[in-house]
Amino acid sequence: QVQLQESGPGLVKTSQTLSLTCTVSGGSIITSGYYWSWIRQSPGKGLEWIGYIGYSGSTNYRPSLRSRTSISRDTSKNQFTLQLSSVTPEDTAVYYCARSLGPSSLDASRRRYDYWGQGTQVTVSA
């Protein structure tokens, strides 16, 4: 059973960098074919795909967030990390990490992913 767990600060100030880590257990982030995404849901809005890092280390980001987003990994710890810079209150959301078989660019539908973290609330203060 694969499990994903998000961790990181729940409160970030405007203009700072949001940094979240997803720790994966029960499966390796370098297993061929799997992609590891960050997805968020702002209050009153639907799920929004942010980006992924693939089993080979390839990355892809939502175009509107690309200039502020970086996803990296630590294979020794079986973790991958989201960094979102220059945050504003509009980045306030519940942030999820999730796994898909194959790349999932711009797809945030729940059925596209077989495993999800429980989500972590991040609030950006003005």
Decide which of 107 and 51 is more confident: 51
Q: What average pLDDT score do residues 102-120 get?
A: 92
Side-chain-side CA neighbours of 71 within 13 Å: the count stands at: 24
Between the two ends of the chain, the Cα-to-Cα distance in Å is 40
Question: What burial letters (b/e) apply to 65-78, b meaning 16+ CB within 10 Å?
Answer: beebbbbebeeeeb
Using DSSP, state whether 91 is helix, strand or coil.
Answer: helix
pLDDT at 108: 87
Mind listing the pLDDT tens digit for each residue in 74-110? 999 999 999 999 999 999 999 999 999 999 888 888 8
Distance between CA atoms of residues 68 and 50, nearest Å: 10
pLDDT at 2: 97
pLDDT above 90 for 126: no
